């Protein structure tokens, strides 16, 4: 029997962690002479107070959905994929090749083709660390984080060489053809004189992210493969005894993980920039770790956590723009949320477990009397 109810693990612990992070952030803001309440109101109005703000919040959230899901599926197999950053970079390369060198007649076909290429490139990049883990025993954390640097160096080499526009000094590819441009929310929610999300980068990829959440939920909890992945994650020895191949689970889980991380590129590369540039991922691969931790590796939880971090990103940008709070302090606030929801999870969990255990014992003693 679980010590703590499921709802407390899924809802109460993250809420308390966020509250503690907010209290510490308020103290930090007070220390530099700013008003925490005014800062919070500015963050809310900047991120959620207009369709423009919502457009940026959902754009960032879309990136975090893909990288969060990538980390989540690896977590279920008890693997820590820190390579989402590199896999998303290589996924962007796949998107660029698909959009630049295949003559797509319409954006719908371009979206499908780019998504497949992004997933294949991301999965291929994740396959090498997965093979090293499965066959050579190399730790997945070490190999995936090293592959982030290799991916960045490879992309830098290509963007200043083979893929650079002739005569341009900018390390970026050419603009993608018009037929590959994805409809933005501004295009989708344009009703004559009334236009929502004006100037915001959110695009149709957000709905692809929602579909990915549903698909991953179905895979993990409604298929035999998902059961095998979860079994392997709970106990490798028991899974082997049941005839589940560790090599197969490691490879398949990491291929899915890398494919999801790579698919982030259809949002930022094809949907927003409409070309491939350096540092297109902007740390979203690492934020995906915090998103998966906060979301308890459940696709619905990942969606909610991604929305929260999208809010923090856009709200933080508004704070840096309209107040004297430096950008570095915004990063500190985001880091506090990551710290409390990830590294310090047990600091909240253990007292709550003792509380619920004592309540259960008192209830049982009352029944006995």
| DSSP result, 236-262 | HHHHHHTT--HHHHHHHHHHHHHHHHH
Reference 312, options 38, 18, 51, 16; nearest CA is 18
Q: φ and ψ at 139, to 5 degrees?
A: -70, 130
369: pLDDT strictly greater than 70:
no
Please give the average per-residue pLDDT across 8-23, as a whole number: 85
DSSP 126: H
- Count of the separate structural domains present in the chain: 1
Q: How confident is the model at residue 39 (pLDDT cuts 50, 70, 90)?
A: confident
Q: What is the dihedral of CA 157, 163, 167, 169, to 10 degrees?
A: -40
Look over the chain and give the mean of its residue pLDDT values, rounded to a whole number.
91
Q: Under 8 Å CB-to-CB from 67, ≥6 apart: which residues?
A: 84, 88, 260, 261, 264, 284, 285, 287, 288, 291
| Domain assignment of residue 330, yes or no | yes
Q: What is the pTM of this model?
A: 0.93
pLDDT tens sequence across 230-286: 999 999 999 999 999 999 999 999 999 999 999 999 999 999 999 999 888 988 999
* pLDDT score of 80 more than 90: yes
Length of the chain: 369
Question: Domain for residue 79, yes or no?
Answer: yes
Q: What's the CA gap between 103 and 93, in Å, rounded?
A: 17
The per-residue pLDDT for 7 is 80
Vertex 114: Cα angle to 108 and 117 (nearest 5): 145
pLDDT at 255: 98
- Decide if 113 is inside a domain: yes
In this prediction, residue 306 carries a pLDDT of 96
Is 242 part of any domain? yes
Q: Is residue 368 part of a domain?
A: no
* CATH code of the domain in which 168 resides: 1.10.3470
Q: How many CA atoms lie within 13 A of 166 on its CB side?
A: 0
Determine which of 175-184, 259-268, 313-322 has the lowest per-residue pLDDT on average.
Answer: 313-322
φ/ψ of 297, rounded to 5, equals 60, 20
Whether 155 is in a domain gets the answer yes
Does residue 1 sit within a domain?
no
Rounded distance between C-alpha atoms, residue 362 and residue 224, angstroms: 41
Given this model, what pLDDT does residue 118 score?
98
Strands, E, within 151-300: which ranges?
190-191, 194-195
If one counts every other C-beta atom within 10 angstroms of the C-beta of residue 223, the result is 11
Give dist(CA 256, CA 279) in Å, integer: 23
pLDDT at 15: 85
Residue 369 in domain: no
pLDDT at position 364: 78
The domain containing residue 102 runs over which residues?
A: 6-28+36-363
- Average confidence (pLDDT) over 180-188: 95
Q: What is the reported pLDDT for 368?
A: 65
Res 28: pLDDT: 86
pLDDT digits (tens, 9 = 90+) for 350-359: 888 888 888 8
User: Which of 20-24, 101-105, 191-195: highest mean pLDDT?
Assistant: 101-105
Least confident of 42-51, 56-65, 235-244, 336-345: 336-345
């Amino acid at each position: 029997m679980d010590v703590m109810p499921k709802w407390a693990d899924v809802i109460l612990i993250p809420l308390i962690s966020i509250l503690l992070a907010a209290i510490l952030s308020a103290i930090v803001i007070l220390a530099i002479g700013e008003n925490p309440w005014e800062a919070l109101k500015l963050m809310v109005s900047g991120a959620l107070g207009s369709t423009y703000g919502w457009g940026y919040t959902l754009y960032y959230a879309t990136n975090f959905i893909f990288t969060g899901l990538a980390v989540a599926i690896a977590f279920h197999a008890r693997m820590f994929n820190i390579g989402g950053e590199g896999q998303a970079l290589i996924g962007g390369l796949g998107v660029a090749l698909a959009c630049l060198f295949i003559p797509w007649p319409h954006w719908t076909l371009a979206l499908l083709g780019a998504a497949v290429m992004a997933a294949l490139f991301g999965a291929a990049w994740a396959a090498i660390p997965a093979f090293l883990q499965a066959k050579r025993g190399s730790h997945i954390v070490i190999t995936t984080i090293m592959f982030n640097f290799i991916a960045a160096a490879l992309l830098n080499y290509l963007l200043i060489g083979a893929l650079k526009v002739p005569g341009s000094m900018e390390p970026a590819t050419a603009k993608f053809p018009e037929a590959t441009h994805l409809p933005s929310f501004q295009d989708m929610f344009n009703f004559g004189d009334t236009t929502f999300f004006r100037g915001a980068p959110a695009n149709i990829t957000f709905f692809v992210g929602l579909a990915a959440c549903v698909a991953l939920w179905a895979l993990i909890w409604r298929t035999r493969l998902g059961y095998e992945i979860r079994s392997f994650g709970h106990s490798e020895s028991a899974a082997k005894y049941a005839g589940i191949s560790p090599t197969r689970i490691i490879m398949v889980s990491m291929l899915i993980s890398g494919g999801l991380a790579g698919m982030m590129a259809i949002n930022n590369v094809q949907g927003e920039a409409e070309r491939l540039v350096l540092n297109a991922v902007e740390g979203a691969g690492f934020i995906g770790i915090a998103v998966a931790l906060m979301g308890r590796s459940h696709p619905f939880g990942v969606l909610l956590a991604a929305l929260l971090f999208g809010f923090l990103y856009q709200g933080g940008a508004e704070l840096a723009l309209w107040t004297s709070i430096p950008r570095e302090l915004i990063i500190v606030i985001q880091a506090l949320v990551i710290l409390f929801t990830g590294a310090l999870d047990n600091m909240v969990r253990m007292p709550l477990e003792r509380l619920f255990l004592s309540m259960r014992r008192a209830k049982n003693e009352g029944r006995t009397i």
